[in-house]
Amino acid sequence: MADDRMKQVGAFLARQGILVAFLLFMIGFALANHRFIAIDNVLGVIRSSAILGVMALGVTFVVISGNLDLSVGSMMSFSTIVVLDLHDKLGPALAIPAMFAMTLALGALIGFLVGYLRLNSLIVTLGMLSAIHGLTLTYSGGKNMDIADKAGTWFGGIGRGSVLGIPGPILIFGLLALVLSVTLAKTPFGRKVYAVGGNGTAAIFSGIPRARVVFMTYIISSFCVATAGLLQASRSLGSQNTVGQGLELDVLAAVILGGASLLGGSGTVFKTVIGVLILGFIQNGLLLVGLEFYVQYVVTWVIIILAVWLDVAAKRGRILSPIA
């Protein structure tokens, strides 16, 4: 029956809605400008999305467990400034672990507040957004941070180098995505993250230590932020102390675009990667089409909302069928 086939198409769209939307965008932009799908352009987009992407990987865990993390942007500024500053004071080999330790400490603080004290994650991370910004400004004395001897350090190799023709940031993004994807999909911890986000009460009634699981999601998130800060610092070897400002919304957009529910309990690392790529390719595509820079903000968000609508509508089955 034609009706059945429509249902099947509907069910397929419901599962893969965002992937379909992604393909439609790609085809549309590719038709508008052939350069869009050239290998160097594609690699360029992925590389410039990598920092956002690394942060989105961690936030995926937080969102699936049913919480938010709005502090990642300002935390990334912090990591970047700290590692640049310590680079000249301690040398890169010590600066990197020291920066990771400090960033993880911030993640642990958030994890403690949200996980163990059960404070609302929106409030806590919004507060941390601003508190960490203040911390960064205090730390840097409000100045920009630069590595003194840019030519004489191997530090830049992480963000600027490449292995077998694959740029460093893409490699790290890919590797981290793989590890975290397997962690989420295949380990007991990953299962517990879904359970806590899907139904926290039922998780507790099943003997799952909810507080510890939530705590760990913020540790993972801050680890990803530290990695992003490292990439950012290494690529630019100098930075303003507002480098990550506003990224938290792009990160959240990528995670939601990927189809993770803000209510928790659903989403995957792979889908987040797709969300990150959509975001990157939209911005790149608009640039190639020749849209004025400021207009891009508007168009980007119009497209994001359209994509999410398509996804939600397909899940509800409302586009193709009148019955919910």
Partner 1 sequence: MSVHDQKPALRLEGIVKTFPGVRALDGVSFSVLPGEVHALMGENGAGKSTLMKVLGGLHQPNEGKIFMGDEPVVMGSPMDAKAKGVVFIHQELSLAEELSVAENIYLGELPRKSFGRVDWDRLYADSGAILKRLNCGFGPRTLVGDLSIANMQMVEIARALTVDAKAVIFDEPTASLTDAEKVVLFEVIADLRAQGVGIIYISHRMEEIFRISDRITVLRDGAYRGTLNTAETDEDEVTRLMIGRSLDMSRNAEHVETGDVALEVRGLSCGKLFQDVSFEVREGEVVGFYGLVGAGRTEIAETLFGLRTPSAGKILLKGKEVSIHSPMDAIAHGISLVPEDRKTQGLVLGMNCRDNITLPQVGDLTAGPFVSDGAEIAIFDQYRDRLDIKTPNWRQQVGNLSGGNQQKIVIGKWLSMHPEVLIVDEPTRGIDIGSKSEIHNLIRELAKSGYAVIVISSEMPEVMRVSDRVIAMYNGKLMRSFTADEVTEDNLVQAISGLSENGKVA
245 binds partner 1 (CB under 8 A): no
CA 215 to chain centre: 18
127 binds partner 1 (CB under 8 A): no
- Cβ 56 to partner 1 shortest distance, Å: 22
63 binds partner 1 (CB under 8 A): no
Among 28, 105, 206, 309, binds partner 1 (CB under 8 A): 206
How many alpha carbons fall within 13 Å on the CB side of residue 42? 8
Residues 17, 311 contacting (CB under 8 angstroms) = yes
Residues 266, 66 contacting (CB under 8 angstroms) = no
Cβ distance to partner 1 smaller for residue 50 or 195 = 195
- Cβ 64 to partner 1 shortest distance, Å: 11
2 binds partner 1 (CB under 8 A): no
Cβ distance to partner 1 smaller for residue 18 or 83 = 18
40 binds partner 1 (CB under 8 A): no
3 binds partner 1 (CB under 8 A): yes
Among 199, 242, 245, 296, binds partner 1 (CB under 8 A): 199
C-alpha 130/C-alpha 133 separation (Å) is 5
147 binds partner 1 (CB under 8 A): no
For the chain, how far is it from start to end, CA to CA, in angstroms?
Answer: 20
- Cβ 324 to partner 1 shortest distance, Å: 9
Cβ distance to partner 1 smaller for residue 67 or 77 = 67
Among 47, 87, 133, 192, binds partner 1 (CB under 8 A): 192
Among 7, 119, 160, 317, binds partner 1 (CB under 8 A): 7
Cβ distance to partner 1 smaller for residue 115 or 156 = 115
Residue 164-183 contact track with partner 1, rule CB under 8 A, x = bound: ------------------x-
Q: How far is CA 174 from CA 43, 53, 170, 178, 179, in A?
A: 13, 9, 6, 6, 9
Among 163, 164, 201, 294, binds partner 1 (CB under 8 A): 201
Grouping H, G, I as helix, E, B as strand and the rest as coil, residue 145 is strand
Could you tell me which stretch among 53-61, 167-175, 194-202, 227-235 binds partner 1 (CB under 8 A)?
A: 194-202
C-alpha 78/C-alpha 314 separation (Å) is 40
Among 32, 204, 291, 313, binds partner 1 (CB under 8 A): 204
Q: What is the DSSP letter of 187?
A: S
CA 268 to chain centre: 12
Could you tell me which stretch among 38-46, 75-83, 201-209, 236-244 binds partner 1 (CB under 8 A)?
A: 201-209
Structure tokens at 197: 């986000």
- Cβ 226 to partner 1 shortest distance, Å: 23
In the region spanning residues 263 to 322, those forming contacts with partner 1, defined by CB under 8 A, are: 265-266
- Cβ 7 to partner 1 shortest distance, Å: 5
**Closest C-alpha among 26, 49, 33 to residue 291:** 33
Q: In sequence order, what DSSP letters do the residues of 106-126 get, joined into one string?
A: HHHHHHIIIIIS---HHHHHH
Residues 274, 75 contacting (CB under 8 angstroms) = no
Contacts of 5 (CB under 8 A, 6+ apart): none
Residues 76, 194 contacting (CB under 8 angstroms) = no
C-alpha 172/C-alpha 30 separation (Å) is 27
Residues 266, 64 contacting (CB under 8 angstroms) = yes
Interacting residue ranges for partner 1, rule: CB under 8 A? 1, 3-4, 7, 182, 186-188, 191-192, 194-195, 198-199, 201-209, 265-266, 323
